[in-house]
């Protein structure tokens, strides 16, 4: 996790603890400065006309002051300074404390993200020309991969810890879940939720292979995150709906749906998995562009640290091709307490020294 993006915007905050970026841009300070100036020009005598506007502008001016205070401390992201900011209740606020999660129910022991097993479409791309994407099933190899992943998952979490599943409604994801859950006794499965926001990126309806190949070549030149497929979605569209799922997930934590030993398993698709991590950790678009999909049925593991935050395991960072700065950051968070000050990536030891 990199503390600041190339534009100077804050990134890399864990949504279960502390402050969340709601949209920091380089022009914000100028805009808020203007709001502060405009606030002084409001006619205080015409309360019926201007009182609401004045209150709003004064609130923006207050947030401008808070923002400039933050600017002077940019070396450490806000969540690492003290983790105790209160919610700024305004559309103009930059950060939001997920206080309900802090006060509410337990956080799961692990969050395990799994890409579906090898699909019929992975084997034969012509399948998409006559079969709807959401109806594409698993190959025989994909079924075996899912069975093996279920065994590995059971061995990793132990013989008694409960499991909760969120799954994409696409057939290949549901079949992957079916084989994984077979490795567990029914009493250990605390819940299963089919979650439509975890579906695959939409590449169009019945896909013409030549057009999809051309579009993917164009995406490579344009950028994977912002390129929108004709009649389909961009990576940014997937990010938006994954953000909605993340909020639901956090509310499930707040409501006490999980116990501290619960392992949450998310069966989904490659780009959905990566955008979930991007949203969770606040990674930049540039970081997203460096990552790649895990192999079919490969597990990406987020461990709950002693601070209460989550960090990717060392192996999962390499599965995704994370840059060295993120590997360093995850290694530090896996050992740090909530009140420890983040030293910044340039001052961290080699990740191997921290493991």
- Where along the chain do its domains lie? 19-97, 110-322
Q: Catalytic: which of 80, 116, 269, 333?
A: 116
Q: How far apart are CA 3 and CA 25, in angstroms?
A: 15
Q: 150: which DSSP letter?
A: H
Global pTM reads 0.69
Which CATH number applies to 110-322: 1.10.10.60, 3.40.50.11750, 3.40.50.1240, 3.90.740.10? Answer: 3.40.50.1240
Determine the pLDDT at residue 353.
Answer: 47
Determine the pLDDT at residue 104.
Answer: 60
Q: Catalytic: which of 120, 179, 195, 200?
A: 200
Burial of residue 188 (number of CB atoms within 10 Å: 0-12, 13-18, 19+): middle
What three-state secondary structure class fits 177?
helix
Residue 116 is a catalytic residue: yes
Maximum CA pair distance of the chain? Answer: 76
Q: How far apart are CA 347 and CA 177, in angstroms?
A: 42
Query: pLDDT (tens digit, 0 to 9) for every residue of the chain, 355 residues total?
Result: 433 333 333 334 445 444 333 333 343 334 334 443 443 333 334 444 445 555 555 544 444 443 333 333 333 333 333 332 222 222 222 223 344 444 567 899 999 999 999 999 999 888 888 899 999 999 999 999 999 999 999 999 998 999 999 999 999 999 999 999 999 999 999 999 999 999 999 988 777 778 878 888 888 888 889 999 888 999 999 999 999 999 999 999 999 999 999 999 999 999 999 999 999 999 999 999 999 999 999 999 999 998 888 999 999 999 999 998 899 889 888 888 877 766 655 444 444 544 5
Determine the pLDDT at residue 317.
Answer: 94
Q: How far is CA 318 from the centre of its chain?
A: 17
Determine the pLDDT at residue 125.
Answer: 83
Residue 200 is a catalytic residue: yes
């Amino acid at each position: 996790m990199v503390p600041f993006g190339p534009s100077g915007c804050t990134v890399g905050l864990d949504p279960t603890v502390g402050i969340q970026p709601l949209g920091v841009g380089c022009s914000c300070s100028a805009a808020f400065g203007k709001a502060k100036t405009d606030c002084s020009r409001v006619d205080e005598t015409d309360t019926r006309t201007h009182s609401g506007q004045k209150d709003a502008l004064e609130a923006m001016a207050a947030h401008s002051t808070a923002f400039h205070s933050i600017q002077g401390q940019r070396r450490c992201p806000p969540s690492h300074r003290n983790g105790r900011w209160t919610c700024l209740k305004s559309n103009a606020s930059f950060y939001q404390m997920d206080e309900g999660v802090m006060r509410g129910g337990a956080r799961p022991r692990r969050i395990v993200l799994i890409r579906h097993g090898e699909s019929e479409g992975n084997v034969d791309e012509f399948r998409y020309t006559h079969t709807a994407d959401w109806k594409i099933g698993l190959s025989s190899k994909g079924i075996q991969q899912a069975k093996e992943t279920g065994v590995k998952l059971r061995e990793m979490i132990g013989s008694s810890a409960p499991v909760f599943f969120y799954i994409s409604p696409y057939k290949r994801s549901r079949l992957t879940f079916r084989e994984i859950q077979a490795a567990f006794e029914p009493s250990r499965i605390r819940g299963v939720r089919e979650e439509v926001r975890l579906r695959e990126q939409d590449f169009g309806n019945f896909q013409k292979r030549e057009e999809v190949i051309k579009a993917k070549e164009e995406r490579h030149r344009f950028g994977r995150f912002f390129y929108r497929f004709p009649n389909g979605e961009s990576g940014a569209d997937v990010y938006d709906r994954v953000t909605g799922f993340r909020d639901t997930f956090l509310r499930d934590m707040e409501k006490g749906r999980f116990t501290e030993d619960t392992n949450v398993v998310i069966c989904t698709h490659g780009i959905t998995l990566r955008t979930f991590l991007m949203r969770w950790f606040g990674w930049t678009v540039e970081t997203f562009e460096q990552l790649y999909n895990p192999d079919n049925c490969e597990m990406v593991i987020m461990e709950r640290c002693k601070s209460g935050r989550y960090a990717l395991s060392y192996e999962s960072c390499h599965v995704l091709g994370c840059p060295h700065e993120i590997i360093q950051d995850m290694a530090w968070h896996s050992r740090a307490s909530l009140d420890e000050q983040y030293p910044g990536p340039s001052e961290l030891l080699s990740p191997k020294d921290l493991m």
